[in-house]
Each structure stands twice: as structure tokens, then as C-alpha cells.
Structure 1
């Protein structure tokens, strides 16, 4: 019976340790967002998804006692707060990039529309000058 309790405690520890590792990772991602290091953030996001998948598997097989459930809930609350802030900042960045792309496309369209006319005007000026 003692071996069963120890095995249960070990599996609980593995699950809680995985949640703690996820919290550390999402904290690092939050720091990247605050520093506007977007490329590094995207690279870290892949690892984050892998950690979440690992947790999903563990979560489905491990039963937690009351203390474990409370610790998991506290960790999840922190993780979700960071994740929500990261997502909010990513959406703002996406919107900012969308605006920049729109401005760039309008400038390109204007250039295409008026560049032939500018070329024609300068040809006429050259002929008039000679």
C-alpha cells in the first residue's frame, strides 16, 4: 500500500512540475512580448504548444489530491493570465502590421498610378527645353 501512495505522489509531482515548467516558459514569453522580440516569441510559442500537449496527456492520467488540485489551479491561473496578455499583445502587433501593410500597398498603388504620368511629363519637358 505504501508503494501505491508513493507512486501516486510521484505522478502528482510530475504533473505539478510540468505545470510549473509551463509557468516558467510562459513567463519568459511574456518578457519577450514586453521587449517586442517578436521572432524569438514565435520560436518559443512552438515549445509552449509542445509543453501544453505533454500536459494534456499527463492531466488525463493523473488524479490529484486536494493540495495538488489547489496548486494546479493557482498555476493555471497564473499561466492563463500571462497567456491572455501575450495574446492581447500579439493581436495588437498583428493589427499594427496590417496597417503598415495597408499603407505600403496604397503607396505602391499610387506609385503605379502616377509613375507613368510622371514619366510622360518629364519627356514633354525635355522636348520643350530643346
Structure 2
């Protein structure tokens, strides 16, 4: 596969991956997102290596920007759904850390409250 078609192949793979991630995020199925994000990241890393060395024709450039628009819109919506979940997780972790500090300060073992 030549570098030119490989660049477009990467974009053609990333767009549906972000669409699938968006479907999962909307359904609050967070567990599958890291695997798909890893696939996207691998494709992006590959693009960083090959895209500067390639030249796209006018039609490919137009298609690339359509795909980038979809990828960007999907990513923005995903981030909008993930950030509240991350904030909630950070809050829970801080609460657990405070509880652990209190238990330690008052002489209770860390595992006294673990299920």
C-alpha cells in the first residue's frame, strides 16, 4: 500500500471508530471505550509518521477534511460525555483518600472497611 492510500486508509478507519465510541458513550458503556481509543491512537500515531511524507490529490484532500469533521464532532461529543464521568471518579477517589487518611489518623487499618 502506498503512503498516499495508507493516509486515507487511516482516516477511513478512525472515523468509524470514533462513531462506535460515540454510540458506546451515549449508551454509557464505558468499558469498551479504552480499547477503541487505543486503536484510534495507534492510527493517529501512524498518521504522524506517514502523513508529512505524502501528498494528497484534491479529491483525497476534500475527503480527508470531511472525515476530519466527523472525527472532530464525534470526539467533542465523546469528551463532553466523559468529562462528567471523570469528575465523578475523581470525587470518589478523593473521598476514598480522605477516608483512608482519617482511618490511618485514628489507628484503624486500611483494610478494616474493605468488602
Measured against the shorter chain, the TM-score band is 0.7 to 0.9
1:104/1:13 Cα in 2 relative to 1: closer, same or farther (>3 Å)?
Answer: same
1:62 correspondence with 2:50: no
Q: For residue 83 of structure 1, give the secondary structure of its aligned residue in structure 2.
A: helix
TM-score between the two structures when normalised by the length of structure 1 = 0.66
- How far is 1:26 from its partner? 1.0
User: Shift in Å at residue 99 of structure 1?
Assistant: 3.4
> Where does residue 71 of structure 1 map in the other structure?
63
Query: Displacement, 1:97?
Result: 2.1
> How many residues were matched structurally?
105
Structure with greater helix percent:
1
When Rg is computed on C-alpha atoms for both structures, the one with the higher figure is 1
After superposition, residues 45-60 of structure 1 pair within 5 angstroms as 45-60=37-52
| 2:18 corresponding residue in structure 1 | 26
Runs of 5+ unmatched residues, structure 2: 107-115
How far residue 73 of structure 1 moved from its aligned partner, in angstroms, is: 0.8
Is the counterpart of residue 94 in structure 1 residue 94 in structure 2?
A: no
Q: Give the aligned partner of residue 35 of structure 1.
A: 27
RMSD: 2.6
Cα deviations by residue, 1:19-55 (Å, 9 ceiling, x for unpaired): 0111011111111111112121112211211111112
